[in-house]
Structures are given as C-alpha cells and as structure tokens.
A = this chain, B = another copy of it.
Amino acid sequence: MGMYYGNLIIIGGNEDKEGKCEILREVIKKSRKKEGPLIILTAATDYPERVGKEYTRVFKKLGCGDIKVIDIEDRKNAFDAVYRMEIERSSCIFFTGGDQLKITSLIGGTFLFDSLKKAFKEGTLIVGTSAGASCLCSTMIVSGKAEDSPRKCTIKMAPGLDIIKGVLIDQHFAQRGRYGRLFNAVAQNPQIIGIGIDENTALVIEGSSVFRVIGSGAVTIVDGYTIKYTNVSELSSDETLAITDMKLHVLPRGYKYDIKQRKPILKNVSKEEKNETYR
C-alpha cells in the first residue's frame, strides 16, 4: 500500500504577515479544496489569545471569511466532543508556533488527534509553522544546540504527530544556523530525509510525495543514503560527530523534491512559478 501524503503546507516560521503574504495566501488557496472553517490551533503557544487574534486578523485581511481559533489548555479539552466535530468539518487546521512538546503532550493520543487524522485523510489541509511544522513528523527535533558542530547527545528528539512520514523537519533553519543539528539527526538514521526550512519559506504537498517550495528562502534537504561513514554509534556523549559523503540540496521557490524517490525535480520549473508573487 502506498503512503498517504494528503494536503500539507509546512512553514519554517516567521512567515510574512504584512507584505505580499505569499505563504498565507497559499494556505487560503489550498484550503478551498474542502468546505468548512479554517481552524487556528494555538496549542503550542503560551499566548494563545494574542496569537489567535493575530492570525485571525491576517487571514481575514487576505479574504478568508470562516475562521475559528481552538486553544487546547489541557488534555481534557482535547477529548471535548465539540472540538472533534469542528476539526472533522474543517477545511484547514493551522498549527501556530511555540513549543512542539506542548502540542504533542496536549493532543497526542486524544479524541481531537483522532479527528485531526480523520480530517486529514478526508482532504483537510494541515498547516504548521515553526514548532507547528516540527511536530508534524513521526519523530521531531525538540531541542538541540544550534550554531555548534554536530555533537552526540546534544540533540533531543521525541515522537511527533506522524502526519508526514520519512522526513524530519527543522525550521528557522538558515536564520538560526541549525545545519549541524539536522546533520546529527540524519546521521542517527539515514533512512530519514532531513528537511531544513528557512523563515518565510514553506513546502506545499498536494496528495503526492512531491513537495514544492514557496516563499523567500530555501529548503535544505539532507539525504543520508550516501553516507559512507559515521561514528555516531561509537562516541561518548558530547563528542563531535564525523559524517562523510552526505548529500545536500538547497531548493528555493518553484523547485520541487520527491520524498519517495529522494530526488529534486528540476524540469517544469516555469519562469512564472519561480517568480510567483501575489498581487
């Protein structure tokens, strides 16, 4: 049986909310595939009211009429039947930034999460930005020293929401110098494709294993299949990793990558698509 990819937009954080809003416009556009409200899920943040209001304002400005904010304060909330219905009927579920462990610890294993998976299977667009992006993987990076050489045991991972499989996503990527920690994570299991998404940059998945890059930065893809040597299993804690022959791609707006084939797709990049802006 093939893998289910569904409709996803995964954002590296700090997406433009005042200018052309390329990414958030794409969210609205792609959520039109299904009826129902766009739900802003503020579980990740410590300031749910402020963040909820802010996204509501921006999405309204961009022409989205049907918006709902759901804040999950404790796990009990996430078993609430009202939320279940709302989630299942939504056109889009948008995970804000904050702390990815807040998301998974609050909604993992709850009715709300069951509904979210059901909605996803039925075509609801799932969007995550920053922490909301990281949490969508099977295994997520929780924390790890950035701007350092890759070291063993300095990176903390946890089980994610398992919405997108086979990849490990890091966000605010170039801006926070998170290359080393993604190399580290990929070296631990080269089966997983490491995807580093820059700020105001996103990948768009529409029912297949191919994603397309949008936004102003790049998506860095770390493919460990070619690794010939790593000392990751030999080291004691905090020693610097050795990794050889890792493969890297850096893809900006308009370029595509096939997760299943582990290959960038370069044909069919139209001039217009590369310069896509919304006026």
Q: Contact residues of A with B, CB < 8 Å?
A: 146-150, 174-177, 179-180, 183, 198, 201, 216-218, 226, 229, 239-253, 255, 264, 266
Distance A147 CA – B174 CA, assembled complex (angstroms): 5
Which residues of chain B are near A198, meaning CB under 8 Å? 148-149
Contacts of A176 in B (CB 8 A): 147, 177
Minimal Cβ-Cβ distance residue in B for A240: B252
A sample of 4 more A-B contacts (CB under 8 A), given A218-B241, A245-B248, is A148-B198, A180-B250, A243-B249, A247-B247
Chain B residues in 8 Å Cβ range of A249: 243-246
Jot down 18 A-B pairs with beta carbons below 8 A, ordered by A.
A147-B174, A147-B177, A149-B198, A149-B217, A150-B218, A176-B177, A179-B179, A183-B248, A218-B242, A239-B252, A242-B250, A243-B248, A243-B250, A244-B251, A244-B264, A245-B248, A245-B264, A246-B249
Within the complex, what minimum Cβ distance (angstroms) separates A125 from chain B? 25
Which residue of B147, B149, B247, B252 contacts A245 across the interface (Cβ within 8 Å)? B247
* A118→B244 CA distance, assembly (Å): 36
Contact A250 B255 (CB under 8 A): no
Query: Which of chain B's residues have a CB closer than 8 A to the CB of A244?
Result: 249-251, 264, 266
Residues of chain B contacted by A253 (CB below 8 angstroms): 240
Contact of A229 among B147, B179, B264 (CB under 8 A): B264
Residues of the B chain whose Cβ atoms lie less than 8 Å from the Cβ of A201: 149
Distance in Å from the Cβ of A227 to the closest Cβ of chain B?
Answer: 10
Closest chain-B Cβ to A156's Cβ sits at a distance in Å of 18
Whole-angstrom CA separation of A251 from B230 in the bound complex: 9
Cα of A249 to Cα of B245 in the assembled complex, Å: 6
